Amino acid sequence: KAGVTQTPRYLIKTRGQQVTLSCSPISGHRSVSWYQQTPGQGLQFLFEYFSETQRNKGNFPGRFSGRQFSNSRSEMNVSTLELGDSALYLCASRSVVHSPLHFGNGTRLTVT
Amino acid sequence: GESVGLHLPTLSVQEGDNSIINCAYSNSASDYFIWYKQESGKGPQFIIDIRSNMDKRQGQRVTVLLNKTVKHLSLQIAATQPGDSAVYFCAETYSGGTSYGKLTFGQGTILTVHP
């Protein structure tokens, strides 16, 4: 079974631009979560989607948004990019509650 | 609690030794705990999990111990191999209320295994 797939692997953007990251979960997994990983803050929860509905949201500004499609694929969008948004963005999926999240290899975003 | 990524704890062992990685979690209401391994350039990889109604769970070469009294989690790796070198994260979550689906990660521990 294929794992969680994230595209693109690397992105370089300029301050003020916006970016969209894509995630395909493991087949059969309906829950998709997004995390931001930085050296200073570690792994931080962004949001989780289940059946196209956002179920939980972390403490990030409204510039960070996401959505999930009927095939469980998910996208996250960051608008008006800031230098501090440079990070590894990780997508993860799981099958049911109290089952482990399985992560993709992330998208490395650099904002210049 | 929030994880802090600067100055990660490190553990250096010889190949064949047993490794113990510790984690203090923050929320006494957390009822599900997971250990992840992250290698350079990759996302976190699931190792083992444990629910709060257990205090020990074993996998292949790994054992997780949970002490709810002191909010402490540990990962034991038997016969550590060079391929085990990575950053190890513990994560906690509570399945009720608004925390549903949200994992809180520890800061991570860098494990280095010397041949």
CB of A107 within 8 Å of any CB in chain B? Answer: no
A96 pLDDT more than 90: no
* B102 three-state secondary structure: coil
Q: Which of B87, B110, B99 is nearest to B36 (CA)?
A: B87
**pLDDT, position B5:** 41
A51 pLDDT more than 70: yes
B96 pLDDT more than 80: no
Alpha-carbon gap, residue B73 to B13, rounded angstroms: 20
Alpha-carbon gap, residue B88 to B30, rounded angstroms: 19
How do residues B28-87 score in pLDDT, each as one tens digit?
999 999 999 999 999 999 999 999 999 999 999 999 999 999 999 999 999 999 999 999
Q: In B1-115, which ranges are continuous DSSP H helix?
A: none
> Judging by DSSP bridges, how do beta strands B109-114 and B10-14 pair with one another?
parallel
Task: Give the confidence band of B100 by pLDDT, cuts at 50, 70, 90.
Answer: low
Task: Give the confidence band of B6 by pLDDT, cuts at 50, 70, 90.
Answer: low
How do residues A60-71 score in pLDDT, each as one tens digit?
999 999 999 999
Cβ contact A97–B95 (<8 Å): yes
A83 pLDDT more than 50: yes
How do residues A26-49 score in pLDDT, each as one tens digit?
999 999 999 999 998 999 999 999
**pLDDT, position B4:** 38
The tokens describing A67, both together, are 């959505």
Task: Give the confidence band of B97 by pLDDT, cuts at 50, 70, 90.
Answer: low
Q: What percent of chain A has pLDDT over 70?
A: 98
Q: Range with the lowest mean pLDDT among A52-56, B5-9, B110-114? A: B5-9
A4 pLDDT more than 80: yes
Cα B83-B102-A70 angle, rounded to 5 deg: 95
Element (H, E) at B46: strand B45-51
**Mind telling me how many Å the CA of A111 is from chain B's nearest CA?**
19
Q: Which residue has the higher pLDDT, B95 or A47?
A: A47
A18 pLDDT more than 70: yes
Q: Range with the lowest mean pLDDT among A64-68, A76-80, A97-101, B70-74? A: A97-101
**Mind telling me how many Å the CA of A109 is from chain B's nearest CA?**
13
**Mind telling me how many Å the CA of B107 is from chain A's nearest CA?**
6
Q: Which of A4, A41, A58 sits opposite B102 (nearest CB)?
A: A58
**pLDDT, position B102:** 87
Q: Which of A37, A32, A39 is nearest to A54 (CA)?
A: A32
Cβ contact B105–A43 (<8 Å): yes
CB of B102 within 8 Å of any CB in chain A? Answer: yes
**pLDDT, position B56:** 98
Task: Give the confidence band of A95 by pLDDT, cuts at 50, 70, 90.
Answer: confident
Q: Which residue is it, tokens 């992105």?
A: A11
Question: Within a 10 A sphere around the Cβ of B77, how many other Cβ atoms?
Answer: 23
Task: Determine the residue of chain B that is closest to A47 in CA distance.
Answer: B102
